[in-house]
Structure 1
Amino acid sequence: MNNWDIVDVSAPWMGVYLTEVEDPMPLLIKLSKSKSLWQRRVSIILTFALIRAGDLEPTIIISEALLKDEHNLIHKAVGWMLRELGKKDVMSLRKFLTNHSHQMPRTMLRYSIEKLPERERKKWLISSKR
């Protein structure tokens, strides 16, 4: 995989495999620590299938692991998966934001709060200013 389009189209389908694995975390953690931008992006996008299956913890763990990643494509992917997590359980998203919004890159934060009510989005943007 060598571009965001291939990763974003294929990873959610590959993630279905992870819903049947007893413990997907070793693979996800290994990918999240890779020097390869694409493997790091895959690590978070793979969690989409787990979110759909109701397993939110891997998304939270990998999002935390990628918080300080410097690449904008990682910021967008993590924000996207956090937004998806929030669709499943908004309280889990709010807890993550409470713990991490102050250290989240702006793009990641904006993507993650996109589906929240406007007043709440403004609150998170204001409270996260460094």
Structure 2
Amino acid sequence: MIKAADIEATLLSMADERQARQLLRFFKTGPGEYGEGDKFIGLRNPQVRMVVKEAWKETPLPEAAQLAMSPLHEVRLCGLLIMVEQYLRAMKKGDTETMSRIFESYLALHPYINNWDLVDLSAIKIVGNHEVMNPELILMDEWIKPDGHTLWQQRIAMVSTWMLTRKGHIDKCFGRAGFLLSSPHDLLHKAAGWMLREVWKKGYRRELRAFLDENVARMPSIMLSYTCEQMATDERHEWQSRRKSGR
């Protein structure tokens, strides 16, 4: 068994103060910014993943969850990535009990999953796969709503549709993106646009055009930009023109 304290010590041994200062700026940790107060030790994702690769098989879920509650960003990321690997192994084995246990633990940890990289690198594979495997789940349809839910809960709900789209369940993406049209957060606009772009990439172009036809006039510009990124230039410009003209 590998303990959380030992994994954290390994991560701390690789700390880079200069890189940490750069990450503080990159992840917007200043007063009033979305990552306000977060702390970094200066590790890049490949360094964290190297530790995950060595540790995930021997790390009990409670120890991974303890890592995910750390005040240090990279330590939280490590814990979440360990949970991802454990979830994927359980899914491969058809171990639904372990999958549910990891999923429930992940949900309980949502106050600590509080930056876009932490969300994007974990939610798609844990929450997204769990929704595919359990179509009766409606919790993410609640988390996408702004009332009583944080920016990060909403982003978890939005990016998790990536897996649903891969399986042809595109209505979830459209429904959740619709809730974010009036959001004040550009991180949610980007997430929705990213997921809508995935709908296009998977070939559901008629359906995406219908969604845009209904919503383009009130779509935030960055959401539309992400959505149309893979389109032909003429079509992309047409949607942008329609948004500006409000039609």
User: The TM-score by the shorter chain falls in which range?
Assistant: over 0.9
- Structure 2: tracts of 5 or more residues without a match: 1-112
Please identify the structure whose Cα radius of gyration is greater: 2
The CA deviation at 1:76 is 0.2
CA deviations on 1:19-63 (whole Å, 9 max, x unpaired) are: 011323x21221112431100001110111100111101001101
Whether 1:19 aligns to 2:132 is: yes
* Alpha-carbon RMSD: 1.0
CA deviations on 1:60-106 (whole Å, 9 max, x unpaired) are: 11011111111010000000000001112111111111000100000
Whether 1:104 aligns to 2:219 is: yes
Higher relative CO (Cα under 8 Å, sequence separation at least 6) belongs to 1
Matching of residues 1-130 of structure 1 within 5 Å: 1-14=113-126, 15-24=128-137, 26-33=138-145, 34-88=148-202, 89-129=204-244, 130=246
| Alpha-carbon separation, structure 2, partners of 1:27 and 1:35 | 12
Q: Give the TM-score normalised by the residue count of structure 2.
A: 0.51
- Structure 1: tracts of 5 or more residues without a match: none
Counterpart AA for 2:170:
L
The CA deviation at 1:7 is 0.4
Q: Quick check: 104-113 or 15-24, which moved more?
A: 15-24
Q: Give the TM-score normalised by the residue count of structure 1.
A: 0.95
Counterpart AA for 1:9:
L
CA deviations on 1:99-125 (whole Å, 9 max, x unpaired) are: 001000000000000001000000000
Counterpart AA for 2:228:
I
